Each structure stands twice: as structure tokens, then as C-alpha cells.
Chains A and B, each alone.
Chain A
Amino acid sequence: MKAGVIVFPGSNSDRDVAVAIERVCGRRPQMIWHGDHDLPDLDLVILPGGFAYGDYLRAGAMAARSPIVDAVKKHAARGGLTLGICNGFQMLTEMGLLPGALLRNRDLHFICRDVDLRVENTNSAFTRDFAANPQVRINMSHHDGNYVASDSDIAALEAENRVVFRYVDRDGTPQYDTAPNGSTRGIAGILNRGGNVLGLMPHPERLFENALGGSGGRPMFTSLMNHFAHA
């Protein structure tokens, strides 16, 4: 799997996700500067976590207008897999590749802790390997993860099984109204209609092997690797 990580000024999880991909999938991703205009030949483009451009104006707003973005949009339009984690999810909404927006957390706090998630759709290139054990614990770390969208967008996301990750209690009860950041219907991650663009606020790359305190995020990387191994 040929992966590339876009590096923005203020990204801080770019190298974490590169290490996770290299360790799990066996091939080091290319690091691509946001100021470039072209992407190399890639199977997967990753928009990493962090605070690109200091989150000036709105989280992800400036990054979503970077020179590289036209090439990322073309990659996504061709059906190329595109993954936005945390700040990358915010960018995907600002780029218009995913619906809705991510607002300041309900209680205004920056929240950094491990959370329980249910993988609601294990039939995507990003999530097939979660099928055996669809509830996972991974880290969230953000100030602006409170997902909002129009009623019709939310209804479509739910009806089309595009809410891929949802915050849940330890016992698996969905946090429809009680997500830690106030996110609508407990939404933690969503997929586009084509199934090739995924954005999520929590960080699978922070817990991908037990030495890090857990491996809840690992199935995302094995899913991606297996997707291309079987393609």
C-alpha cells in the first residue's frame, strides 16, 4: 500500500500516523508538503492530526485551502482512499469532501483521554478488520470535535450507514446525547457516499500496538493493508 501523509505547518500527528502505517503495513508512507501542487501515485492520502495554521479562522479552514488540496480532491474524486484524523477530519469538512462541521466541544474543554467507540460500519476499506470486535478504545484529543450537520445530512448519514464511529459507554450504549464533546448523535467519524473518504476525530494511530497502552486503533491499518493486498 502506497500511502502519503500531507504535512501542514502545525501538524503534530503526521509522524505518529507514518510510524503506525510503517509498523503495521510494512511500508513507510511518503511525507508530502502542503505547499506542493501534485501528489505522487498513492493508494491512500492521509490528512493528519494537529493544529494546521494554528487553527486560525476555524479549525482546518486555512489548511483546506492549501496548494496541495486540489490534488487531494482529484484523488478523492477518482475514488482514491482519503483518511482525515482529528484536524484532518476538520479539513475534510472544510474542503467539502464530508458534510457538516466540527464546532467547539460542548463544555469548552480540550479533551484528551481514551474513549470507547463502536465501529458501526465494518464494511469499508478502513474498517473491515473491526468486524470481529467492533467496540474499541482509542484516544481522543481535541478542542473542536462537536460534530454538527443539517437534519437532512444527519438523517442521510444514519440511513446510509455512513456514521462509521460512534462514542459509546463502556457497556456499548451509544452516547447519542452524551458524547464527551457534545457531538450530534455521538458521531465520532463519518464516511462519504463513495465509501472512499473517512474522517474521524479520535486517533487510531496513537493506540496501534500494546506497547503504547492499547491496540484499539490497529484494525484500521490492517484493514487498509488487507484492502490493497486483496485488490
Chain B
Amino acid sequence: MKAHIHITLKQGVLDPQGKAIGRALDHLGFSGVNEVRQGKFIELELTESDRETAMSQADEMCRKLLANTVIENYRIDLVD
């Protein structure tokens, strides 16, 4: 089973890289973008086959290492 983990900056945390990407899109003529927020995507290949256990394992990994919950939110999607 795979865990797809999306890590994003919390609302209110300034994202200078997202802003720079937004400006670059604007330079390219994409005028319809209000805001860009950049995040991370991490894919884990898990040996665990029980979804509930896999979810709790991935959640612990996010809290202990993958995300910094002071500034980041995370979302875990399990994919068979």
C-alpha cells in the first residue's frame, strides 16, 4: 500500500517561494492566478496492508519527521 502525503504551509504562514512562482506565472501571461502556495508531496511504499494501521503509522511519521506542525499541515491519502 502507498501513502501519499501532501504537506502545505499553514494559512497565514508567508510563502515567499509561492509568491515568486505566482509572479513568474503572471510574467508568462497567466493573469488568472490569485495566489500560489507551494508544498511538498511525499510518497511512501508501506509494507502494512491494514488501512487503519497504515494510516496511524503514516500519521506518526508526519508528526515526528515529515511535517513541522508549527508551520505546516499535512494530509495522508492511502492508495492501494
Contact = CB atoms under 8 A, between A and B. Distances in A.
A108 B68 contact: no
Interface string B44-80: 0000000000000000000011101011000000000
Given A101-B68, A146-B16, 5 more contacts: A57-B65, A61-B65, A65-B65, A100-B70, A148-B71
Contact of A57 (B16, B66, B70, B71): B66
Given A57-B65, A65-B65, A104 B17 contact: yes
A106 B16 contact: yes
A93 B70 contact: yes
A64 to B, nearest CB: 9
Interface residues of A, number: 20
Interface of B: 13-14, 16-17, 20, 64-66, 68, 70-71
Contacts of B17: 104, 108
Interface string A89-120: 00001100001110111111000000000000
B65 A108 contact: no
Contact of B16 (A100, A101, A182): A182
Nearest to B71: A101
B14 A105 contact: no
What are the 5 A-B residue pairs with the smallest beta carbon separation, nearest first? A101-B71, A101-B70, A108-B16, A106-B16, A104-B16
For B13, B16, B17, the residue with the greatest tally of chain A CB atoms inside 10 Å of its CB is B16
A182 B19 CA distance: 14
A58 interface: yes
For A58, A105, A107, the residue with the greatest tally of chain B CB atoms inside 10 Å of its CB is A58
A149 interface: yes
Nearest to A151: B12
Contacts of A94: 68
Contacts of B71: 101, 103, 148
Contacts of A100: 70
A149 B70 contact: yes
Interface in A116-149: 146, 148-149
